[in-house]
Structure 1
Amino acid sequence: MFTVTKQSQIEPIYVLNDTRSQSSLTVFPDRGGIATSWRVGDRELLYLDAERFTDPKLSVRGGIPILFPICGNLPDNTYSIGDKQYALKQHGFARELPWQVVSQSTDTDASLTVVLESNDQTRQVYPFDFSVSFTYRLAGGDLIIDQTYTNKSATPMPFSTGLHPYFAAPAKDRLTFEIPADSYQEKQTGETHAFAGKFDFSQAEIDAAFTDVKANVAIVRDAGQQLTLTMASSPNYRTVVFWTVADKDFYCLEPWTAPRNSLNTGKDLLHVAPGETLNCKITFSAKFA
């Protein structure tokens, strides 16, 4: 049995449930359309810094923040279109703005669709009219996120998009990874390193970008939790970023359509023609041994 429940009127909170598998997903539309909890059975799969989440002045550290219209940061937070320069903060504005709930369903899964529309605030930093739709679908151990990006402008719309999921990991030294790339670039130094399935978690921070991935499936095995987490994405996603900091029980495995600064470099940048829509999809699957 699938259900979708609205739990609060002041700041709407929606909980998707699959009672057969005892899985659930919690979504806060007004807080960037973010999913803050994903449970399968009695296991919480996501990390959330609750103290930061209660302070709207702070960026959220946890859940699954939405990245649009850029992933990562720009040099000096600036980019140009034509002869005009714009300022855009790291990861864009989608994770900071309220999204609107437009539909829900319990037919074949528990699903909720939220939409972000362009407005005067977004046009100041990103001069395009758009509609972005995310549909969260929950069934068993699968969380499917269907996305549509519609260009309502008169000119082609360039962008990158992605997710920044925080996965709970009480013992990061028990993690192993299958990421479809042989090397990654370290953000702090710009150096490229070979990759053989593990990271050195003694470092204060790891910020590793795997660009030009060879496939669209990545797998994380957590021996400590006896959990296998699979991330499958549509071919639009060409970059995977791994990020974590010491002494925090999380890691981020982030699917991006393009690397940092793509609005300036053009690398893997997506373009949607006027009046057209681009579809993307990401599926997270959790299996416990």
Structure 2
Amino acid sequence: MYAIETQKKQYQTYILCDRTANSQVAIVPERGGLVTRWTVGDRDLLYFDEERFANPQLSVRGGIPILFPICGNLPDNRYTYDGKTYHLKQHGFARDLPWNVVDRNTEDCASLTLELVSSDRTREVYPFEFQLTFTYRLQGDTLEIGQRFTNPSDDRVLPFSTGLHPYFLTRDKSQLRFLIPSKQYWNQIDGALQDFHGQFDFDLDEIDVAFSQLSSHNAAVSDEAGGFQLKLEYNSPFSTLVFWTVRGKDYYCLEPWTAPRNALNTGERLIRIHPRSSLEMLVRFQVQPL
């Protein structure tokens, strides 16, 4: 049995429920369309910093933020288009702006569809027209995020990169085992290309690496201390997996991106949607017992 509940605290929160599977997903449209919680049974799967979330002046640390129209940061937060320089902060603006609820459904799953469209505010930093439609679907132990990117312009191509930045909760990083479809990664801290043998050094203060040569559209992390495996699936526009964590924090991030950092300047793997056209993408998370 599927249901959608609402809860009003600081923000209106929509809670997708699969009561048969005892799973829930909480979403806050007006705070960046953010997933703030995902539970299956009595297991919390996402890390979430409530104190930062309560302060709208701070970026969110936790949940599943949306990255658009860039992933990562730009040098000096700048890019140039048509001879003009624009300022765009790390990961773009989609995670900070209010999204509108445009549909909800409880027939075959619990789903909520949100929309973000270009405005005078976005055009100040990103001079393009766009319409983003994200549909969150909960069914049993699976959370899907369907994404539709539309260019409503009559004459201008829409260039962007996009991704998700999930913060997965873990109590013991030493008990994590990784199945990532790549043998090498770029270390974003020292710029070096390094071989990957299935594990990270969690004694480091920070790990920030990008897997850009992916051999499949699947990845998985086994949490042996928690007794479950998290599976990640994504379709072909996603070309990069970023792994990020810091020492002393109970989270790790495994992020599907469509392009590496600075793509808006370099053009590397940048998505370009023609006028009056759309592109659909999908990311699926599933949790299963070990």
* Fold shared, TM-score > 0.5 on shorter chain: yes
Q: Distance in 1 between matches of 2:5 and 2:77?
A: 39
Task: Check the 8 A contact 1:169/1:250 in 2, yes or no.
Answer: yes
Question: Could you state the TM-score of these two structures normalised by the residue count of structure 1?
Answer: 0.99
Q: CA deviation at 1:137?
A: 0.0
Q: Distance in 2 between matches of 1:123 and 1:152?
A: 14
- The match for 1:275 is 276
Deviation string for 1:114-173 (max 9, x for gaps)? 110100010011101110010000001100000000011221110000000000010000
- The match for 1:135 is 135
Q: CA deviation at 1:12?
A: 1.3
**Any idea what SS the aligned residue of 2:25 has?**
strand
Structure 1 position 106 matched with structure 2 position 143: no
Deviation string for 1:238-278 (max 9, x for gaps)? 00000000000000000000000011111110010001010
- The match for 1:239 is 240
Q: Distance in 2 between matches of 1:122 and 1:270?
A: 18
Q: Distance in 2 between matches of 1:182 and 1:264?
A: 27
Q: Distance in 1 between matches of 2:50 and 2:6?
A: 20
Aligned length: 289
**Any idea what SS the aligned residue of 1:129 has?**
coil
What amino acid sits opposite 2:276 in the alignment? G
Q: CA deviation at 1:214?
A: 1.5
- The match for 2:22 is 22
- The match for 1:288 is 289
Task: Check the 8 A contact 1:103/1:112 in 2, yes or no.
Answer: yes
Alignment of 1:148-187 (within 5 A): 148-153=148-153, 154-187=155-188
Deviation string for 1:39-92 (max 9, x for gaps)? 000000000011111111111000000000000000111111121111110000
- The match for 1:199 is 200
**Any idea what SS the aligned residue of 1:122 has?**
helix
**Any idea what SS the aligned residue of 2:12 has?**
coil
The two structures, once aligned, show a CA RMSD in angstroms of 0.9
Q: Distance in 2 between matches of 1:231 and 1:175?
A: 15
What amino acid sits opposite 1:118 in the alignment? S
Q: Distance in 2 between matches of 1:158 and 1:214?
A: 25
Residues 206 and 123 from structure 1, CA distance in 2 versus in 1: closer, same or farther, beyond 3 angstroms?
Answer: same
Q: Distance in 1 between matches of 2:77 and 2:25?
A: 33
Task: Check the 8 A contact 2:158/2:275 in 1, yes or no.
Answer: yes
- The match for 2:118 is 118
What amino acid sits opposite 1:147 in the alignment? Q
What amino acid sits opposite 1:6 in the alignment? T
Structure 1 position 85 matched with structure 2 position 89: no
- List 4+ stretches of structure 1 deviating above 4 A: none
Q: CA deviation at 1:11?
A: 2.3
What amino acid sits opposite 1:158 in the alignment? P
Q: Distance in 1 between matches of 2:174 and 2:54?
A: 30
Structure 2, unaligned runs of 5 or more: none
Q: Distance in 2 between matches of 1:252 and 1:9?
A: 27
Q: CA deviation at 1:10?
A: 6.7
Task: Check the 8 A contact 1:128/1:152 in 2, yes or no.
Answer: no
Q: Distance in 2 between matches of 1:124 and 1:8?
A: 32
Structure 1 position 69 matched with structure 2 position 69: yes
Deviation string for 1:185-228 (max 9, x for gaps)? 11111011100110000000000101131111011011000110
Structure 1, unaligned runs of 5 or more: none
**Any idea what SS the aligned residue of 1:16 has?**
strand
Task: Check the 8 A contact 2:71/2:91 in 1, yes or no.
Answer: yes
